[in-house]
Amino acid sequence: MQKSEVHLSRRPIPLPFILMAVLLVHLPLMVMKLPLKSYDTNFHIFFASHYLQHWFDPWNTKWYAGFSQATYPPLPQQWVAVISHLMGLEYAYMLVQLIAILLLAVGVYRFSLLWVSPRAASLAALASVFLGSESFLVYSAGQLGTTSAAPIYLNALPFLFEWIRFGRWRAFLKATALFAAAAAAHHATLIFGSFFFALPVVALAILDRHEGEEDQKSSAAALIARTVGIVVIVTAIIAAVLLPFWIALIHNPVTQEPIPHASRANYILSPFWGINYFIVPYGALILAFPFIFMRGASVRRLRPLLIGFWVAMLVGLGGTTPVSQIVLRRAGEVITMERFSYWATLLALPFLGVLITELIDRYKTRAVAVVCTLAAMTCGLAVAWSTIHPPDAQEFDTKPVADWLNRDGHNNYRYVTLGFGNKIARLAMQTEAGSVDGEWNSGRQLPELTAHGAGQLTSSKFFGKNGIDSLRAILEHADHYGLKWVFVRDHYYDPLLAFAGWRPVDNLNDRTIIVWSKDGVPPATPINTPQIPPHWQGLMWGILPFGSSILALLVLLIPEGTPLESRISFPSPAEEEYASGRLAS
Contacts with another protein by CB under 8 A lie at: 258, 260, 262, 264-266, 268-273, 293-294, 296-298, 303, 306, 310, 314, 317-323, 325, 333, 408, 461, 464-465, 468, 472, 475-476, 478-480, 488, 491-496, 498-501, 503-507, 511, 514, 516, 519-520, 584-585
Q: How far is the CB of 478 from another protein (least distance, A)?
A: 8
CA pair distance 396, 419, nearest whole angstrom: 11
| DSSP calls for 340-373 | HHHHHHHHHHHHHHHHHHHHHHHHHHHHHHHHHH
Q: How far is the CB of 264 from another protein (least distance, A)?
A: 5
Q: Which is nearer to another protein, 372 or 506 (CB)?
A: 506
Amino acid identity at 315: V
CA pair distance 539, 547, nearest whole angstrom: 12
Q: How far is the CB of 118 from another protein (least distance, A)?
A: 25
Q: How far is the CB of 541 from another protein (least distance, A)?
A: 33
Q: How far is the CB of 255 from another protein (least distance, A)?
A: 18
Q: Are 81 and 49 in contact (CB under 8 A)?
A: yes
Q: How far is the CB of 236 from another protein (least distance, A)?
A: 36
CA pair distance 53, 375, nearest whole angstrom: 42
CA pair distance 388, 390, nearest whole angstrom: 6
DSSP state of 441: G
The dihedral over CA atoms of 399, 401, 406, 412, expressed in degrees to the nearest 10, equals -150
From the CB of residue 11, how many other CB atoms can be counted at a distance below 10 Å?
Answer: 8
Distances (CA, A) of 71 to 194, 242, 329: 21, 10, 21
Strands 503-508 and 483-488: unpaired
CA pair distance 573, 121, nearest whole angstrom: 12
Q: Are 435 and 415 in contact (CB under 8 A)?
A: yes
Q: How far is the CB of 271 from another protein (least distance, A)?
A: 7
Q: Which is nearer to another protein, 365 or 507 (CB)?
A: 507
Distances (CA, A) of 222 to 61, 157, 235, 283: 51, 18, 20, 42
Q: Which is nearer to another protein, 129 or 416 (CB)?
A: 416
Q: Which is nearer to another protein, 90 or 575 (CB)?
A: 575
Q: Which is nearer to another protein, 426 or 484 (CB)?
A: 484
CA pair distance 171, 36, nearest whole angstrom: 38
Find the helix packing angle between 41-53 and 144-166, rounded to 10°.
Answer: 80
Q: Which is nearer to another protein, 88 or 581 (CB)?
A: 581
Tell me the Cα Rg of the chain. 25
Q: How far is the CB of 585 from another protein (least distance, A)?
A: 3
CA pair distance 302, 295, nearest whole angstrom: 8
Q: Which is nearer to another protein, 178 or 457 (CB)?
A: 457
Q: How far is the CB of 269 from another protein (least distance, A)?
A: 4
Q: How far is the CB of 408 from another protein (least distance, A)?
A: 8
Q: Are 238 and 180 in contact (CB under 8 A)?
A: yes
Strands 483-488 and 414-418: parallel
What residue ranges in 177-271 does DSSP mark as E strands? none
Q: How far is the CB of 502 from another protein (least distance, A)?
A: 9
> Half-sphere exposure of residue 514, counting CA atoms within 13 Å on the CB side?
14
Q: Which is nearer to another protein, 169 or 499 (CB)?
A: 499
Distances (CA, A) of 175 to 168, 551, 584: 11, 12, 36
Q: How far is the CB of 499 from another protein (least distance, A)?
A: 4
Q: How far is the CB of 195 from another protein (least distance, A)?
A: 17
Q: Which is nearer to another protein, 235 or 266 (CB)?
A: 266
Q: What is the largest distance, in Å, between two alpha-carbon atoms of the chain?
A: 90
Q: List % helix, strand, coil for the chain (3-state, nearest 5).
A: 70, 5, 30
Q: Which is nearer to another protein, 272 or 536 (CB)?
A: 272
Q: Which is nearer to another protein, 381 or 483 (CB)?
A: 483
Q: Return the ∠ at Cα 279 (arms to 276 and 282), rounded to 5°.
A: 115
Nearest to 249 by CA among 521, 442, 110: 442
Q: How far is the CB of 265 from another protein (least distance, A)?
A: 4
Q: Which is nearer to another protein, 494 or 560 (CB)?
A: 494
Q: Which is nearer to another protein, 298 or 529 (CB)?
A: 298
Q: How far is the CB of 107 from another protein (least distance, A)?
A: 26
CA pair distance 113, 569, nearest whole angstrom: 9
CA pair distance 347, 197, nearest whole angstrom: 8
Q: Which is nearer to another protein, 384 or 468 (CB)?
A: 468
Q: Which is nearer to another protein, 494 or 565 (CB)?
A: 494
Does residue 484 sit in helix, strand or coil? strand
